[in-house]
Amino acid sequence: MLKHVAEGVLVHVSEFIQSNSIVVQGRDGVLLIDPGITGDEMAALANDLCELGRPVVAGFSTHPDWDHVLWHPDFGDAPRYGTAGCAASLQDLLSHADWEARVAEGLPPEYADEIPMDLLGLVTGLPAGATHIPWDGPTVRIIEHRAHAPGHAALLIEDRRVLVAGDMLSDILMPFLDLAAADPLGDYLAALRLFENVADAVDAVIPGHGSVGGAGQLRARTEQDRAYVQDVRDGRVPDDPRIGPSAPLDWLPDVHKWQLLRLAERQQNQTP
């Protein structure tokens, strides 16, 4: 189930929108980033780690979307971290008595019965402005921003030259904007600049969904995402294969149209 990406960095790919779960090997166990989707997948991943003799010693969720904050009992009770913003968003969700129903509304029907909800979102927020994950393993730098979601973070595994991008820099998904933010387009462009700043230190980029990119792909994907955001901002039709006739997922053009509609509504509401 595990694909080798770099020394001590492995990836498991889910059938659900090519979701990537990342395993980083440390001295006494592994850091598990965005743990998985279905109960069976997570149990199988836990079994693989057990066979390798590598228990989970820490977890991290790159952002508070449901598909990045799941957990399985077989992973154990290791601390599960996120940014302060990520944890605050989850705490707000879980404070509602009907939180399971709210999450269920967004679940894909074909997987809904296979997604365990009991341990969803039990994430400890790191101190505001935290720059590294506290664990006994390779240094993992937190690159926090607001682009796709509140408290969204990319992770740079410095010694392994790997960037875990969360729900950004995908080869199959165009940018999904955080439409609840004050400046969704500006936030996204600012996050892409942060990625460019570390490009020389990266040999592999792992998106939340899609294929792992090798050397040079970070810049290429950053440029593609920037072109999409700038075209949307400036009222042009994006020349982006991810939303065209050959889009890898047939529902992406509809998401693109929905984003345009929401942005137009925001603009209309802000006009005096």
Angle at 38 between CA 87 and CA 76, to 5 degrees: 60
Confidence at 270, pLDDT banded by 50, 70, 90: confident
pLDDT above 70 (res 230): yes
pLDDT in tens, 78-135: 999 999 999 999 999 999 999 999 999 988 888 888 999 999 999 999 999 999 999 9
* Predicted local confidence at residue 215, as pLDDT: 84
Q: Are 155 and 163 in contact (CB under 8 A)?
A: yes
* Predicted local confidence at residue 20, as pLDDT: 97
pLDDT above 90 (res 269): no
Taking the C-alpha atoms of 242, 244, 249 and 250 in order, what is their torsion angle to the nearest 10 degrees? Answer: 160
Confidence at 263, pLDDT banded by 50, 70, 90: very high
* Predicted local confidence at residue 272, as pLDDT: 63
* Predicted local confidence at residue 271, as pLDDT: 65
* Predicted local confidence at residue 121, as pLDDT: 94
pLDDT in tens, 176-205: 999 999 999 999 999 999 999 999 999 999
Which phi and psi (to 5°) does residue 177 adopt?
-80, 150
**Could you tell me the strand order of the sheet in which 20-25 lies?**
2-6, 9-13, 20-25, 30-33, 56-60, 80-82, 124-125
* Predicted local confidence at residue 99, as pLDDT: 95
What residues have CB less than 8 Å from 204, skipping those under 6 apart?
A: 5, 6, 9, 161, 162, 163, 212, 213, 214, 215, 217
pLDDT in tens, 198-210: 999 999 999 999 9
Q: Are 135 and 48 in contact (CB under 8 A)?
A: no
* Predicted local confidence at residue 146, as pLDDT: 87
* Predicted local confidence at residue 85, as pLDDT: 96
Which phi and psi (to 5°) does residue 200 adopt?
-70, -15
Measured CA to CA in angstroms, residue 151 lies from 36, 144, 224 at distances of 19, 7, 23
Structure tokens at 165: 């991008």
Report the chain's mean pLDDT, rounded to a whole number: 94
What is the mean predicted confidence (pLDDT) over 212-233?
A: 96
